[in-house]
Amino acid sequence: MTSHRNLHLKTFALIFFMVIFGPVGDVFLGKGMRVVGPLNSWAPAALFHFFFRAFTSGMVWAGILSLIAFFVSYTLVLSWADYSYVQPASSFAYVIVALLGHYALHETVTPLRWFGISIICLGVLIVGHTPPRTTEAHSLHAPSRGDASSDELSSAEIRASHPAPVETRVRVPAGDLEQV
């Protein structure tokens, strides 16, 4: 029971970090790139100047660091939780995106968008009431029996646990093949 509770706590904590760091990183990156301005030419000097401005922007770096924190959280939570749980549960970030869009970027969020976001959040609540892990990790390693050589299954044990497929032959009369 305790390990199940710890798994839920770890999962919720990392999904919370994903929900915060992803949208915040996008906003910082977006604001920073608006200050940098558009790329006007593909000439090497223009590209260098564009990327120099981008990578010397504190706002761009704040976005990059926040998105790295998002990616680390995402990678960690996927190491034990099902993707089919993590992705819908992290969709609560759409609320943060709408709030940041409205308050930080001064965008208009229409009532229809808020309605759509509320439907997504309802789905998040439904998914949140399911276990984060529904599949068991499959491994070719046997439980440790105390000696280092017993950690791996022998090839005979692997063949015994994974039987060869059964070959099935079906005879079809030659006359039946012409009709097909």
CA dihedral for 8, 13, 15, 16, sign (positive or negative): positive
144 and 150 Cβ atoms separated by less than 8 Å:
yes
> Structural domain boundaries of the chain?
2-128
pTM (two decimals): 0.65
Q: Angle at which helices 93-103 and 2-36 pack, to 10 degrees?
A: 30
pLDDT tens for the 180 residues of the chain, in order: 557 777 788 988 999 999 999 999 999 999 999 999 999 999 999 999 999 999 999 999 999 999 999 999 999 999 988 888 888 888 889 999 999 989 988 889 999 999 999 998 898 888 877 777 777 655 444 444 444 444 444 444 445 555 555 555 556 556 655 554
